[in-house]
């Protein structure tokens, strides 16, 4: 990892892929409707259920919905799909809004909640009952399942299916009034128990839940199901294109049936695309919730989590996530995407934007015997070789320095070109340095290196033109800032965690190694939380909010080596 001096990525994609987003089948459909004069401007929505934090899979849906709206001059709503009060929390609502803004999207005044529509949805349920298109069910959830049939067998009619509308209306009103226990009754749409599509076999559209709701409090004890609330909320908001993931493809006939059978003010259409799956992580809220609840991570924003909050804390730039989403595109069939592609997008962005600094994570003391005692000087260091405008900074140098312990070997093998007894190397931005002796303690552990420097090589070049084979980073001991650096590895040991059923067994016990006593150059003392720099030769690191002025904490965002670029070269 230490052999490269700078990031080897060469690809120079634009900063924001959404500016020239590629055409996908959804954009083709919308463009065709606009061209045919059928559509003026699209209205889309992003509909999270506030039962967890947003993850990178959601970013795909967000970039699609907001991107389409932006490109076609329409608008995108943020709608909380808050129909299940048992699992939803205000913390999640706040986090979702913050993460969306961070990712670069704004819904303006178009913030909605499915719960805003509870009264109207209730009226529409009564409408279905009056029309003989819905009935109150007395069977238990288990019995409903039994009667529903299977993919190969038709369902059977419930004994309550032919209740008269008046009786249904009375029972439904009593459900609303709280006369029944959870599960005692439900409201079902009366469609077709023999349908080949199980979603049309009289789906439940209202269930009894005696739980307070974050927004409506105790006003309701019956709640609409996702299927009943979703399409109707789309219609109420005049959404034109309701974009969802493929598992809802089989729900589309029900979506359409409800829109056709209710007095809705507009006629939205549902389109399905493949959800994002990513190697080396999990993107199911149920599993992410379990990771948090079982203490495998410190929280939803743990830098090992694939949540937007976690990725942000680890230091991933929002631009890199948008770039990644643009590159994977939107299709009808989904493949698992390599995490290496996301890593590549991150390096590509940070290589261009992150300033370089020097930091030593596993320090070994160097004493330069021919450097004046008590002397010091400052040297020019380039902030970003990819960006001349980033300028230069001054780095202090002195008689005592820190270098990385593994940049020295007492008895080096053939291919080790870094420091060894009698060998000369370059100290970045400084001088040529030669090791004269390795000092050891009683146990044989090397405690410091005795060295000499060549004062003629200031700036890192020898006037006589002699070459060295390695350039090391270093930090002057007198000015070093002590820091904790958290080295993150993937949270799981395999690319398909949980494939054998037990996610816990695939957790990487070494996914976090916290190094204390790391030595940073003084310019890093006041790095603001969230700011990312490249530690030369080591990788990209981001200041963590756990740090404080004078005692920073850094997270390793990503190492320097780009396996994706290699994969592409080979292919
Ligand atoms: P989970 O299945 O993990 O519970 P979800 O789909 O229920 O996630 P929601 O909050 O309902 O989570 O999702 C909001 C929107 O984000 C939905 O339109 C959903 O289709 C989309 N979405 C969720 N996960 C992904 C993913 N991995 N890829 C693309 N879109 C996704
Ligand atoms: Mg969902």
Task: State the CB neighbour count (10 A cutoff) for residue 395.
Answer: 22
Q: What span, in angstroms and rounded, lies between the C-alpha atoms of 405 and 357?
A: 18
| Ligand 1 neighbour 230 (Cβ under 6 A) | no
Q: What are the domain boundaries of the chain?
A: 119-224, 359-473
Nearest to 307 by CA among 514, 95, 463: 95
Q: Coil, strand, or helix at residue 535?
A: strand
Given pLDDT bands bounded at 50, 70 and 90, which one contains residue 9? Answer: very low
The percent of residues above 70 in pLDDT, for the chain, comes to 94
Task: Assess contact for 321 and 58: CB atoms under 8 A.
Answer: no
Tens digits of per-residue pLDDT, 296-322? Answer: 999 999 999 999 999 999 999 999 999
Neighbours of ion ligand 2 (CB under 5 A): 49
| Ligand 1 neighbour 58 (Cβ under 6 A) | yes
| Ligand 1 neighbour 539 (Cβ under 6 A) | no
Q: Is 99 left (phi over 0), alpha (psi -120 to 50) or beta?
A: alpha
Q: Quick one: pLDDT at residue 335?
A: 85
Given pLDDT bands bounded at 50, 70 and 90, which one contains residue 11? Answer: very low
Nearest to 325 by CA among 68, 12, 21: 21
Ligand nearest to C-alpha 49: 1
The answer to whether 275 is a known catalytic residue is yes
Say which residues have a Cβ less than 8 Å from residue 189's Cβ, sequence separation at least 6.
Answer: 128, 133, 134, 202, 203, 205, 228, 254, 257, 258
For residues 119-137, give the mean pLDDT.
Answer: 98
| Ligand 1 neighbour 284 (Cβ under 6 A) | yes
For residues 37-43, give the mean pLDDT.
Answer: 97
The class (CATH top level) of 119-224 is alpha beta
For residues 142-171, give the mean pLDDT.
Answer: 97
The angle at the Cα of 245, spanning 239 to 250, to the nearest 5 degrees, equals 90
- Give me the chain's average pLDDT, please: 94
For residues 211-235, give the mean pLDDT.
Answer: 96
The answer to whether 49 is a known catalytic residue is yes
359-473 under CATH 3.20.20.150, yes or no: no
Nearest CA to ligand 1 atom 23: 58
Ligand nearest to C-alpha 287: 1
**Do 119-224 and 359-473 share a fold?**
no
Q: Coil, strand, or helix at residue 137?
A: strand
Say which residues have a Cβ less than 8 Å from residue 172's Cβ, sequence separation at least 6.
Answer: 125, 126, 129, 136, 187, 206
Q: Coil, strand, or helix at residue 33?
A: helix
pTM of the model: 0.92
Tens digits of per-residue pLDDT, 47-94? Answer: 999 999 999 999 999 999 999 999 999 999 999 999 999 888 889 999
């Amino acid at each position: 990892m230490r052999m490269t001096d700078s990031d080897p990525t060469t690809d120079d994609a634009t900063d924001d892929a959404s500016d020239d987003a590629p055409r996908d089948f959804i954009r083709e459909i919308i463009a065709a409707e606009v061209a045919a004069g059928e559509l003026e401007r699209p209205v889309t929505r992003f509909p999270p259920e506030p039962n967890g934090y947003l993850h990178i899979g959601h970013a795909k849906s967000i970039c699609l919905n907001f991107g389409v709206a932006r490109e076609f001059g329409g608008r995108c709503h943020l709608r909380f799909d808050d129909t299940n009060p048992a699992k939803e929390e205000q913390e999640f609502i706040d986090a979702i809004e913050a993460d969306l803004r961070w990712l670069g999207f704004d819904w303006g005044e178009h913030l909605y909640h499915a719960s805003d529509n509870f009264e109207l949805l209730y009226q529409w349920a009564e409408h279905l009952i009056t029309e003989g298109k819905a009935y109150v069910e007395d069977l238990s959830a288990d019995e409903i399942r039994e009667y529903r049939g299977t993919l190969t067998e038709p369902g059977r009619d419930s004994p309550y299916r032919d209740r008269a509308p008046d009786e249904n209306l009375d029972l439904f009103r009593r459900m609303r009034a709280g006369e029944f226990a959870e599960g005692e009754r439900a409201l079902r749409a009366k469609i077709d128990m023999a349908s080949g599509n199980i979603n049309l076999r009289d789906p439940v559209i209202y269930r009894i839940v005696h739980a307070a709701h974050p927004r409506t409090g105790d006003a309701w004890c019956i709640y609409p199901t996702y299927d009943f609330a979703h399409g109707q909320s789309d219609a109420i908001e005049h959404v034109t294109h309701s974009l969802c993931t493929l598992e809802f493809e089989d729900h589309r006939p029900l979506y359409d049936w409800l829109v056709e059978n209710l007095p809705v003010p507009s006629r939205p259409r549902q389109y399905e695309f493949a959800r994002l799956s990513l190697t080396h992580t999990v993107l199911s809220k149920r599993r992410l919730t379990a990771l948090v609840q079982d203490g495998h991570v410190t929280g939803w924003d743990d830098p090992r989590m694939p949540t937007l909050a976690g990725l942000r804390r680890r230091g991933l730039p929002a631009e890199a996530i948008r770039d990644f989403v643009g590159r994977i595109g939107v299709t009808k069939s989904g493949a698992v995407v390599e995490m290496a592609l996301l890593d590549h997008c991150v390096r590509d962005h940070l290589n261009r934007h992150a300033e370089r600094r020097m930091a030593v994570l596993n320090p070994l003391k160097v004493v330069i015997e021919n450097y004046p005692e008590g002397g010091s000087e400052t040297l020019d260091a380039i902030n970003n070789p990819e960006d001349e405008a980033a300028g230069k900074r001054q780095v202090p140098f002195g008689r005592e320095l820190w270098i990385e312990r593994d940049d020295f070997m007492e008895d080096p093998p053939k291919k080790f070109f870094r420091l060894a007894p009698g060998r000369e190397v370059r100290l970045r931005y400084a001088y040529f340095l030669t090791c004269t002796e390795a000092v050891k303690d009683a146990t044989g552990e090397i405690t410091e290196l005795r060295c000499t420097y060549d004062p003629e090589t200031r700036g890192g070049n020898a006037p006589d033109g002699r070459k060295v084979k390695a350039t090391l980073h270093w930090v002057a001991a007198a000015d070093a800032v002590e820091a904790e650096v958290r080295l993150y590895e993937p949270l799981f040991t395999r690319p398909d965690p949980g494939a054998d059923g037990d996610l816990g067994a695939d957790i990487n016990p070494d996914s976090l190694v916290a190094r204390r006593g790391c030595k940073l150059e003084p310019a890093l003392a006041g790095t603001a939380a969230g700011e990312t720099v490249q530690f030369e030769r080591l990788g990209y690191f981001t200041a963590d909010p756990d740090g404080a002025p004078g005692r920073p904490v850094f997270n390793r965002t990503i190492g320097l080596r780009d396996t994706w670029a290699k994969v592409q070269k080979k292919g």
